Amino acid sequence: MMIYIGNVAIERTAALAPMAGVADRAYRIVCREHGAAYAVSEMISAKGLCYSDRKTEELCTVDDREHPYALQLFGDDPRFCAEAAKRLADFGPDIIDINMGCPVPKVAGNGSGCALMKDIPRAAEIVSAVVKAVELPVTVKIRAGWDADSINAPEMAHACEDSGAAAVTVHGRTRTQMYHGSADLDVIRRVKERVGIPVIGNGDITTPEQAKAMYDITGCDLVMIGRGSYGDPWIFERVKHYLETGEILPPPTVQERLSEMLRQTEMAVGFKGERLAMAEARRQCAFYIRGMKGAASFRGRCGSLSSLADLHALAAEIADGTEI
């Protein structure tokens, strides 16, 4: 079964969430190859892009293996967001996504991200400006609200729809929850009841059964997996298989996990260079080896990885007699 965001067809299984510092190009490609129906880039600063920040532009590169794919921008000024969207469109994404759900202080504290949940008129103005600036479908990612006393995702989603958004993604937590507590599926359900555009549900999906439950409880059009994919890109093919057959696929073997860890890291090194890629890989490699024999010790060593040679040596040691 397919859903459509504008004219972009997406398989109704599970998508990969945008995650700053995690869902880079190598990670997204690996997840797409394991069945992620759709992926969204790391956040890109509208002002950074407009001021031609070199680091910002590096986040915009789209690999042919990633389609259907969205580039995600954040900002608090409609003019900058519109200009940034035009520049993002030149990189060849299928969709432009606007982040209005990031809770971290350096984003929300500057009026962007989840701060826009407190200013729906301004959020609507940003969406309208971006929609007018590009011919691509424009989507918005939001949260349940700023805090427990201001759950306004249905109103926010409705305003985004009225401003031309082609879909909305809802993370079922408030800004004050950050990533703690449980995602509120009822909020996602109420958003789905309020708008006519596709709704993507996000939060707390770590198993195929949870993905199906989100579909069943909220009526959402697509589910999105973020932290549940850490070290486990196979979750996307497990979700797909479960939705199609009701059966749970077996987990990957130790060798499969190590091989994919190495392949993803090697790909990242090719994209970014060894120094930066290995610094960012330390956290991701630790997730790949969770649950293995001796994992606590090996995870500690992940924190000091500085070269591919280090990682290959560590993987060889883990493979030598390691069992899940």
Whole-angstrom distance, CA of residue 19 vs CA of residue 184: 20
Q: Can you list the positions of beta strands (E) in 78-209?
A: 95-100, 138-145, 167-174, 199-202
Per the residue annotation, which of 31, 50, 81, 102 is the catalytic one? 102
Q: Per the structure block, which two tokens stand in for 252? A: 């990957």
Q: Is 297 exposed, middle or buried (0-12, 13-18, 19+ CB in 10 A)?
A: exposed
Say which amino acid occupies 132: K
Q: At a CB cut-off of 8 Å and minimum separation 6, what does 89 contact?
A: 96, 134, 135, 136
Asked about 114 being catalytic, the answer comes back as: no
Q: Are strands 8-11 and 2-5 parallel, antiparallel or unpaired?
A: antiparallel
SS3 99: strand
Q: CA-CA distance, 117 to 134, in Å (whole number)?
A: 23
Q: CA 257, CA 34: separation in Å to the nearest integer?
A: 12
Minimal CA–CA distance to 203: which of 229, 185, 177? 185
Residues annotated as part of the active site: 102
